[in-house]
Amino acid sequence: MAKNQENVELKRVVGVTGLSLNIINITVGAGIFALPAIVGVELGAFSIFAYLFCGLMMAAIMLCYAEIGTRVTKSGGSYAYVVTAFGEFAGFVVNWLAVFGWSILGSAALMNIIADSLAVVFPVFSNPWIRGVFYFVLLAFLVITNIRGAKQGVALIKWITVIKVLPLLGIGFFGLSLIIPENLQWEHLPSLKSFSNTTLILFFAFAGFETALGASGEIKNPKRTIPLGIMIGGATVLLIYLLLQTVTQGILGPQIEVFKNAPLAAVAERLMGTMGGTLLLIAAAISCYGAVSTDVMSTPRVLFAGARDGLFPKFLGKVHPKFATPYWSIIFFTGLIFLFSISGGFEQLAILASAAILLIYLLVILATIRMRRKKSEISEKTFKVPGGWTIPMIGIASILWLLSSLTSWEFLSIAIFLLIICAIYFGARWLKNKKVKE
């Protein structure tokens, strides 16, 4: 009854435009500042097809989200969908994958982009010890800011969003005139293994749209808004990425490997001189920092709520006596970002984060199939993906194909992580049942 009451109190105010813009803002993240070169080095001009593949794959996944989002309209996004279809244990796995697999590893990857971008102008940031101190200072500032209150965190994110989007659009449109057609031609096709490995890294830039559906309980007319918002937002993201990759590949061509850490900054330098390149490097660093700040503001609240529900350790559910914020969750979450930031580079962390979010997407697609088979009073009022089982199967096949490109070490890391999650869940249940019996 209490849960129903919570949903009744939420006002459905988010429309198609609001949802689309939210998806664009969340998805077009800081990773795109580095990925054009990583993809270009491996695939050359054929990199455009990696983007198209990711776009088609995301379309299949988004359509499944659109369908289940009209069936399960309460807040919680992926977690709510999986819990409704498969129960508490599956929801527990999704929560841990989202918090530890995606948010922490993803933010750690972005911290590495910040240092890599600044190292182009200030080589001192290539030193591991300097990077470590730098990470600590940046993350400590976010901890202090967010412990003092969410209002301060939101204000910081608003400014960073503007700084992130404007330079990307400027480079895309003004760079079209400098494209050298020969740079967009390829002499031979890449191997299937090279294509799949590179696409897995690239997927990092496409993931995250589902975060906008966390407020499903506040979306008005879900049957219309969720499918339209997801499709418009997803299509816009793909067009922006294709524009940036085409311009970067078309201008830099074979020289793209020289600018692997900051390809868009190199393009900006061609457009506006040294000052343009420097400004974009700073914009990239600020954009990455903004993405991390969003995580530090939002995800600790998930840890806090989970701790209150018994999913995570109790100390994460404590509230600061003065600022009324989940301070231990903020400190713990940010501390883990720091540890992973100093332990790996962007590509390695991006691969593991992508693997985690792919597993979440796989569970949501399976949840969509399961919910479709359930007879429901609202089944006639929901959006249904056209083509029967075709779209869900395309999504599942694409995810399994990308996951197959993981190395044995990456497979082992994910497997150990999942085993730890299972052990925590069943251990916590055993302790809870033991207390009840006593």
CA distances from 31 to 44, 83, 164, 227, 307 (A): 19, 30, 11, 26, 30
Least confident residue range of 120-124, 321-325, 414-418 = 321-325
> Nearest-CA neighbor of 337 among 152, 88, 9, 114?
114
Backbone angles phi, psi at 75, to 5 degrees: -70, 150
Backbone angles phi, psi at 177, to 5 degrees: -70, -15
Of residues 292 and 396, the one with the higher pLDDT is 396
As to burial, measured by CB atoms within 10 angstroms (0-12 exposed, 13-18 middle, 19+ buried), residue 260 is: middle
Does the pLDDT of residue 425 top 50, yes or no? Answer: yes
Does the pLDDT of residue 195 top 90, yes or no? Answer: no
Q: What percent of the chain has pLDDT over 90?
A: 7
What is residue 377's predicted lDDT score, i.e. its pLDDT?
47
Does the pLDDT of residue 365 top 90, yes or no? Answer: yes
**Domain ranges (residues) in the chain:** 8-372+385-429
CATH fold for the domain made of 8-372+385-429: Amino acid/polyamine transporter I (1.20.1740)
* 233, 209 Cβ separation under 8 angstroms: yes
At 6, the pLDDT band (50, 70, 90 cuts) reads very low
Least confident residue range of 22-36, 92-106, 145-159, 362-376 = 145-159
What lies within 8 Å, CB to CB, of 158 at 6+ separation is none
What lies within 8 Å, CB to CB, of 372 at 6+ separation is 67, 384
Distance between CA atoms of residues 180 and 341, nearest Å: 37
What lies within 8 Å, CB to CB, of 165 at 6+ separation is 25, 28
* Number of separate helices (H) and strands (E) present in the chain: 17, 0
Distance between CA atoms of residues 415 and 298, nearest Å: 27
Structure confidence by residue, pLDDT tens digits, 249-291: 888 888 888 877 778 888 888 888 877 777 777 777 777 787 7
What is residue 279's predicted lDDT score, i.e. its pLDDT?
78
